[in-house]
Amino acid sequence: MRDKVKYILGFDIGGTKIAVCLADMRGKILDSARIKSTGSEPEEVLDKLTVTGKELFKRQGLDISLLRAVGIGAPGPMDIKDGTISPANMPGWYKVPVKTHLENSFGVETFFENDANAAALGEWLFGSGRGVKNMIYLTMSTGIGAGIIGEGHLLRGALGITGECGHVVIDVNGPPCKCGLQGCYEAFCGGRAIADRIRREIREGKIETKILEFAGGDFEKIDMVILEQAVRANDEYAVTLWDEMCQRNAQAMGGFLNIFNPEKLVLGTIAWASGNLFMEPLMKYICDYTWPEILEACDICVCGLGREIGEYSGISVALYSLYENGEWELPWDKQEEKN
C-alpha cells in the first residue's frame, strides 16, 4: 500500500547549510538531512543534494520512482524564470542552476521560490497561518523579507519578487542600506544592521555596556542574541536600542497592515526567539501606525514552525505548486470535506 503513495523532496538552501527533507503528500516529514553549503564549489554542493535526496529514499525503503515533485527555497538574488541563484552571502555562487540541476537529476517537476516565500508557504500550510486567506510572513533575521498570501494565493508580482518589505523606506534621513536605498526598514531593524550599529556606537562613543562583556570583548561576536541578553540584564544602552528597534518595527508593520489588511501577521526569527520581550513593546507601539479596525482584524503572532521552518519550506513550495496545478488539496479543505 505504501508503495502506491507519492512523495516530495524539499531543499531549503541557506548561507551555511542546506536542509534536505523527504515528505509524503500530506506534508508529513519522514526523514531529513543537512549538508554544508560552504567550503565546496557550487557544482559539488549540487551533486551532494542529489545524492542526499536519493539517500533519504533508501533509508525509508522507498524507490526513487515514487518521487512526485521537488520544491526549493533559496536566498536571493535569484532568477525565477531561469532557476538560478546568486546569493550575496554565498561567495562563488553566481547564476547557479539549482532548479535545472535537480530537475534533471530526479526527472520530476521541480518548483522554485525565494526563501521568504518558501517560509511563508510553510507557515500558511502547516504553521501559524494555517487556514487563513490573507497572511504576511516576515523573515526577521540577518535581513528582513516577506512572503504574502492574498485571497488564498502566494503573491509573486510582475518580476516574481513581491515581498521585499525590508527595503521599504521608512525614513529618508535614515542609515544607508546595502541595497542602495537610504533609510530602509532593514537598515534599521535587520540583525546585521543592528549589530553593525552597536559596534560603531560602542567604538565611536566609548559607550559602557554589557553587550561587549557578553560578547567576551570580541566585537565580531556581537549579534541579536547578545543584544537580547543585555536587554534582559537591564543594560541601559541595550534597553534603549531595543525599544527603538521595536518602535521602528511597529512603524513598518503598521504600514504593511494598512496596505494588505491581513488576517495574520506571522513574525519570524527575532520575534520567535525573544517572545514577549519583543512582542509586548511591538503591540504597544503598533497602534500608532495602523487603523484600529485593521489591527483588530489581524492576529499578530510568532511563527508556529520555529526551528523546523527550514524543513517545511522546500516541501511546502512543491505542495503549493501542485495545488496551483489542481493536483493537491489544501489541508484544511480536506478536513472540511471530512466534516
Q: Is the dihedral of CA 250, 255, 256, 258 positive or negative?
A: positive
Instruction: Identify the pLDDT of residue 16.
Output: 83
pLDDT band at 19 (very low <50, low <70, confident <90, very high): very high
Angle, vertex CA 262, rays to CA 269 and CA 170, nearest 5: 65
pLDDT mean over 265-274: 94
Instruction: Identify the pLDDT of residue 318.
Output: 97
In angstroms, how far is CA 188 from the centroid of its own chain? 18
pLDDT band at 334 (very low <50, low <70, confident <90, very high): low
d(CA 227, CA 235): 9
| pLDDT cut 90: percent of the chain above it | 80
- Enter the C-alpha cell of residue 208: 559602557
Lowest average pLDDT, out of 250-254, 272-276, 331-335, goes to 331-335
Whether residue 264 contacts residue 301, with contact meaning beta carbons closer than 8 Å, is answered with yes
- Residue 336 pLDDT greater than 70, yes or no: no
- Residue 49 pLDDT greater than 80, yes or no: yes
More confident residue, 294 or 87: 294
pLDDT band at 78 (very low <50, low <70, confident <90, very high): confident
Whether residue 123 contacts residue 111, with contact meaning beta carbons closer than 8 Å, is answered with no
Whether residue 129 contacts residue 137, with contact meaning beta carbons closer than 8 Å, is answered with yes
Strand 67-74: give its sheet, edge to edge: 29-36, 17-24, 7-13, 67-74, 109-114
pLDDT mean over 283-297: 97
Lowest average pLDDT, out of 37-46, 167-176, 208-217, 312-321, goes to 37-46
- Enter the C-alpha cell of residue 107: 526527472
Write down the mean pLDDT value for the chain: 92
pLDDT, tens digit, 9 for 90 and up, residues 132-180: 999 999 999 888 999 999 999 999 988 778 899 999 999 999 999 988 8
Say if strands 109-114 and 67-74 run parallel, antiparallel, or are unpaired: parallel
- Residue 3 pLDDT greater than 60, yes or no: no
- Residue 223 pLDDT greater than 90, yes or no: yes
Whether residue 135 contacts residue 262, with contact meaning beta carbons closer than 8 Å, is answered with yes
Instruction: Identify the pLDDT of residue 4.
Output: 60
To the question of domain 2-121+307-338 being in CATH 3.40.640.10, the answer is: no
CATH 3.30.420.40 in the chain is located at 2-121+307-338, 130-304
- Fold observed for domain 130-304: Nucleotidyltransferase; domain 5 (3.30.420)
The CB density around residue 216, as the number of other CB atoms within 10 Å, is 8
The CB density around residue 234, as the number of other CB atoms within 10 Å, is 9
More confident residue, 184 or 5: 184
Residue type, 163: G
- Residue 247 pLDDT greater than 70, yes or no: yes
d(CA 269, CA 17): 17
Instruction: Identify the pLDDT of residue 43.
Output: 93
Whole-structure pTM value: 0.92
- Residue 335 pLDDT greater than 70, yes or no: no
pLDDT band at 40 (very low <50, low <70, confident <90, very high): confident
- Residue 266 pLDDT greater than 60, yes or no: yes
- Residue 106 pLDDT greater than 50, yes or no: yes
